[in-house]
Chains A and B, each alone.
Chain A
């Protein structure tokens, strides 16, 4: 029996249903993105819709994961993301394959999440993972692929905002503050609230040099000149300097390849600190108030599956791409061609004619008016 009363037409919150032109639009978007992935020699992987829950454990997504008990009593979970599944395959079935391994996916993930700002419980993600390559080359590669996806989709004014978790983590290396204090500090840096960060730092008990540098993160965003400024400001922290140098390598490479105008530096990007280990980035474009996609480097994940190696990846959200193209009034491809009506009173002759027109490539609507 149903838990709560609902009408026959009602849809549970967080899921969507697409019909006709809407579905066609989404399929076109997916085709374009996938053809870019293929073009950079990434291989498709179609992982299972659910797996053992511990595959996805240890992630920020854990509280949002739909899990259930299988017939044999094992705890299973609907995939809340693809990356863990790909890591598992790379360390398991593809264990003999030499690195780097380039994989892409396109499909739904499921998360227990109230619908908000383009987030649904059922999300369609198109993404790729570059497994076994370090910075700056692999980072620059996936950013170039992300750039080409946005170009291929006809998105206008897109920007890739780049940060590095080693900046914040490096500056606060050795800080003895408790997790709660560090989290409220991270949250204020994330909001670019210099005043709030300053207050949170006074509770963190760090030195003046560190405190000034962390407050500085709230304003270190903009063009590549931010990196030079950061190098001066973080001179005391080797780990933060190394992070800045890594970013510099990536930015120089992409700039030389003609993508400089699309890059933004954001050293105050401090989301996903416990998952990412290096580069983090988000793709933005005018018309959509939130990112259309993003990614980063996660060098610690593969070790969990027994094959330690560096890894970097990104994904685009299909719902967000569709919304963005809609807002920018960009056309994701031609509409369906006009359908020819083929029919007649003789069913066999009509079918033969329809098959003939189909063989010639026409879109056919079979209009046989015979008895039903």
Chain B
């Protein structure tokens, strides 16, 4: 039985492919890529960013590549033995440029794709917030009056600027992580260790 690896179809796909090729590990060709592909002793699942940790936690996949942002949001019970070094970004609080400081507001509405991260962040600061969960285009919310601020990931900050937003504070840094199912880590120790070593070498 070969190891099953869950990969994001989204923003971490390119970085994953580069890393696997550098590590001389198999990786399915982009041409006509299927959602499930077997190649040279590895089996690949291509799923949504937010779903990678779930496939790994339940053991449907032995390993996966997931962003730390997503792992924080899902609080998945998986091992994260390797920072893969790509997909670097920051989870931040952002507001309309020049708008009031959300940290001094008495009540606050926050739009985000990361409801748990956002709620926990403001609770740590003693603020009670109403979290509006969106599936995308979060940066539109403040300008349209849906929310006072947002919690979202930024890489360069260009999208924020284009939408008239600015960063208020950082919540957490993020990058791509190799995640491993707890049972697989122990019961398929040698196979997992080989994959880990290959990726560790390529990531450093």
Set A191, A218, A288: member contacting B183, Cβ < 8 A? A288
Contact assessment for B183 and A117 in the assembled complex, using a CB-CB cutoff below 8 Å:
no
User: What's the nearest-Cβ distance from chain B to residue A247, in Å?
Assistant: 15
Contact assessment for B187 and A117 in the assembled complex, using a CB-CB cutoff below 8 Å:
no
Contact assessment for A266 and B186 in the assembled complex, using a CB-CB cutoff below 8 Å:
yes
State the main secondary structure of chain B at its contact with A: mixed
- How far is A157 from B190 in the complex, measured between Cα atoms in Å? 13
Contact assessment for B187 and A286 in the assembled complex, using a CB-CB cutoff below 8 Å:
yes
Known contacts A117-B58, A289-B60, A291-B182; decide if A284 and B187 are in contact (CB<8 Å). yes
From B27-35, B73-81, B162-170, give the one contacting chain A: B73-81
Known contacts A117-B57, A289-B181, A291-B182; decide if A218 and B187 are in contact (CB<8 Å). no
Q: Is A365 an interface residue (CB 8 A)?
A: no
- How far is A195 from B81 in the complex, measured between Cα atoms in Å? 9
Contact assessment for A191 and B59 in the assembled complex, using a CB-CB cutoff below 8 Å:
no
- How far is A218 from B181 in the complex, measured between Cα atoms in Å? 15
Known contacts A117-B57, A117-B58; decide if A285 and B183 are in contact (CB<8 Å). yes
Contacts of B60 in A (CB 8 A): 289
Q: Is B184 an interface residue (CB 8 A)?
A: yes
Q: Is B194 an interface residue (CB 8 A)?
A: no
| Closest chain A residue to B1, Cβ basis | A286
Contact assessment for B59 and A193 in the assembled complex, using a CB-CB cutoff below 8 Å:
no
Q: Is B39 an interface residue (CB 8 A)?
A: no
Contact assessment for B182 and A194 in the assembled complex, using a CB-CB cutoff below 8 Å:
no
Known contacts A117-B58, A222-B193, A290-B59; decide if A192 and B80 are in contact (CB<8 Å). yes
Known contacts A117-B57, A117-B58, A291-B183; decide if A286 and B79 are in contact (CB<8 Å). no
User: What's the nearest-Cβ distance from chain B to residue A318, in Å?
Assistant: 18
Q: Is A66 an interface residue (CB 8 A)?
A: no
Residue-wise, chain B 52-74 has the 8 Å CB interface mask toward A (1 for contact) of: 00001111100000000000000
Q: Is B116 an interface residue (CB 8 A)?
A: no
- How far is A193 from B58 in the complex, measured between Cα atoms in Å? 20
- How far is A191 from B80 in the complex, measured between Cα atoms in Å? 5
Q: Is B103 an interface residue (CB 8 A)?
A: no
Q: Is B48 an interface residue (CB 8 A)?
A: no
Set A117, A194, A264, A288: member contacting B189, Cβ < 8 A? A264
Interface size class of B (residues with CB under 8 A): 20 to 34
- How far is A159 from B184 in the complex, measured between Cα atoms in Å? 10
Q: Is B83 an interface residue (CB 8 A)?
A: yes
Contact assessment for A290 and B80 in the assembled complex, using a CB-CB cutoff below 8 Å:
no
A residues 182-207 touching B (CB-CB < 8 Å): 191-196
Known contacts A192-B81, A195-B83; decide if A289 and B186 are in contact (CB<8 Å). no
A residues 33-51 touching B (CB-CB < 8 Å): none
- How far is A287 from B57 in the complex, measured between Cα atoms in Å? 12
Q: Is B21 an interface residue (CB 8 A)?
A: no
Contact assessment for B81 and A289 in the assembled complex, using a CB-CB cutoff below 8 Å:
no
Known contacts A192-B80, A193-B81; decide if A288 and B186 are in contact (CB<8 Å). no
User: What's the nearest-Cβ distance from chain A to residue B3, in Å?
Assistant: 11
Q: Is A52 an interface residue (CB 8 A)?
A: no
Known contacts A117-B57, A117-B58, A222-B193; decide if A290 and B183 are in contact (CB<8 Å). yes
Contacts of B181 in A (CB 8 A): 289
Contacts of A196 in B (CB 8 A): 80
Contact assessment for A284 and B77 in the assembled complex, using a CB-CB cutoff below 8 Å:
no
Q: Is B188 an interface residue (CB 8 A)?
A: yes
Contacts of B57 in A (CB 8 A): 117, 289-290
Contacts of A286 in B (CB 8 A): 1, 183-184, 187-188
Which B residues fall within an 8 A CB radius of A? 1, 56-60, 77-81, 83, 177, 180-189, 193
- 18 residue pairs from A and B, CB less than 8 Å apart: A117-B57, A157-B187, A159-B186, A159-B187, A192-B180, A193-B81, A193-B83, A196-B80, A264-B186, A282-B182, A282-B186, A284-B182, A286-B184, A289-B182, A290-B57, A290-B58, A291-B182, A291-B183
